[in-house]
Amino acid sequence: MTAVDRERAEAVAAAAFERHGIAPADADLTAEVLVSADARGKHSHGLLRLERFVRGIEHGNVDPAGDVQVVRDAGAAATISGGSRLGPVVAQEAVGEAMARADAHGVGAVGVHDSNHLGMLGYYTDVLRDAGYVGVAMTNTEPAMPPHGGADPVLGTNPIAIGLPTDPPFNLDMSTSAIARGTVLRARENGERLPEGVALDADGEPTRDPAAALEGTIRPFGGPKGSGLAIAVEVMAGGLVGAAMGENVTGTYHTTEECTKGDLFLALDPVALGGEEFLGRANAFLADLKDGRTAAGHDEIRLPGEASASRADADRISVDDDVWDRVTGLADTE
């Protein structure tokens, strides 16, 4: 891997976007989202994704000048059409809307359709929790996973994230699949094998080959539990917000197709719901969890997102050599 100064990585990534018709402000934001994932060690959603964004621009999956607008307004709830603009740009607009509505009503719920891949979902719940809100985010993706007991991929890997404005920090960011599709992509890029039991090939047989898994299916985590959660996300982040569901979701992986997935963002004012004493109680509860007795083989108890949060402000990031070569090539720089 290559160690790259964070500011340089963001500048080069932004230059790659600008070279492909993206406005500077949109390019800067999307570069920040991608590099933030690499800083946290979430390489499956870092600069590895930049080339796919660029292909989306070239294929018309992304509209650099798309109009982001509220198309349904119901006070605490709203729906946004993203105009096929870059996913991180649309998501940031939706998060801002959710926070404004939470300020006015105690809760803000904002759905999104006509957007595209938004990067690391936990980036947005981090924005929400850093601003003092309880944040919930979910998104559906192209079919890659069967329901529990099924063999055909009709569900997306459908991540969900939950951020709490606590100290210690809590920011859960997980897919509903046994492994994220981005992790499978990275394994294929690096010639690595997948863990046992996470994927099936096109014939429905277990496989550790990431290329075969991409032609087949990824399994839900926890059997019926992950499957049930994935179905809920499919409906809530898809149908509920005016986007597609199941086999009708296109364009998140195959960028030659229109992107039809959806997103849902919730901002909750903790004082409106739990009163002034809520955060103190939550902080004490999480601290007690961390101070608990550890199991054999573990030297500490860590909260969701704690490990990645400790790296979030790193001045340098690590990037796979070939990924960095492609990014600099797209930016026409060395």
Alpha-carbon gap, residue 19 to 41, rounded angstroms? 27
Residue 2: both structure tokens together: 């290559």
Give the bridge partners for 78, in sequence order: 73, 110
Number of domains present in the structure of the chain: 2
* 192 within some domain: yes
Residue 164: both structure tokens together: 């709490």
Alpha-carbon gap, residue 113 to 68, rounded angstroms? 10
Mean pLDDT of 98-115: 98
* 20 within some domain: yes
Residue 139: both structure tokens together: 């998104």
Alpha-carbon gap, residue 245 to 260, rounded angstroms? 8
pTM of the full structure: 0.93
Structural domain ending residue among the three candidates 198, 219, 240: 219
For residue 312, the model assigns a pLDDT of 85
Asked whether residue 37 carries a pLDDT value surpassing 60, the answer given is yes
- Give the burial string for 167-178 (b: 16+ CB within 10 Å, else e): eebbbbbbbbbb
* 213 within some domain: yes
The total of other beta-carbon atoms located within 10 Å of residue 332's CB is: 10
* 277 within some domain: no
Percent of the chain scored above 70 by pLDDT?
99
For residue 7, the model assigns a pLDDT of 97
Alpha-carbon gap, residue 229 to 226, rounded angstroms? 5
Alpha-carbon gap, residue 322 to 246, rounded angstroms? 33
Percent of the chain scored above 90 by pLDDT?
88
Structural domain ending residue among the three candidates 164, 191, 219: 219
* 144 within some domain: no
* CB distance 142 to 251 below 8 Å: yes
Classify strands 107-113 and 77-81 as parallel, antiparallel or unpaired: parallel
* 205 within some domain: yes
Residue 11 identity? A
Identify the CATH number of the domain in which residue 22 sits: 1.10.1530.10
* 272 within some domain: no
Asked whether residue 334 carries a pLDDT value surpassing 80, the answer given is no
Residue 44 vs residues 24, 55, 279, 317, 323: alpha-carbon distances, Å: 24, 17, 33, 14, 11
* CB distance 144 to 157 below 8 Å: yes
324: domain range? 2-62+315-331
**pLDDT category of residue 82 using cuts at 50, 70 and 90:** very high
For residue 80, the model assigns a pLDDT of 98
**pLDDT category of residue 186 using cuts at 50, 70 and 90:** confident
* CB distance 156 to 144 below 8 Å: yes
Average pLDDT of the residues of the chain = 95
For residue 242, the model assigns a pLDDT of 97
* 148-184 pLDDT per residue, tens: 988 889 999 999 999 999 999 999 999 999 988 778 9
Identify the CATH number of the domain in which residue 201 sits: 3.30.60.50
* 269 within some domain: no
Asked whether residue 44 carries a pLDDT value surpassing 60, the answer given is yes
Phi first, then psi: give them for residue 283, nearest 5 degrees. -60, -45
Alpha-carbon gap, residue 161 to 302, rounded angstroms? 17
Alpha-carbon gap, residue 266 to 113, rounded angstroms? 15
* CB distance 238 to 262 below 8 Å: yes
**pLDDT category of residue 29 using cuts at 50, 70 and 90:** very high
* 5-19 pLDDT per residue, tens: 999 999 999 999 999
**pLDDT category of residue 333 using cuts at 50, 70 and 90:** low
**Maximum Cα interatomic distance, the chain, rounded to a whole number of Å:** 55
Spatial CB neighbours of 288, under 8 Å, sequence gap ≥ 6: none
For residue 182, the model assigns a pLDDT of 78
Residue 30: both structure tokens together: 């999307």
Torsion region of 106: left, alpha or beta (phi above 0 gives left; psi -120 to 50 gives alpha): left
**pLDDT category of residue 303 using cuts at 50, 70 and 90:** very high
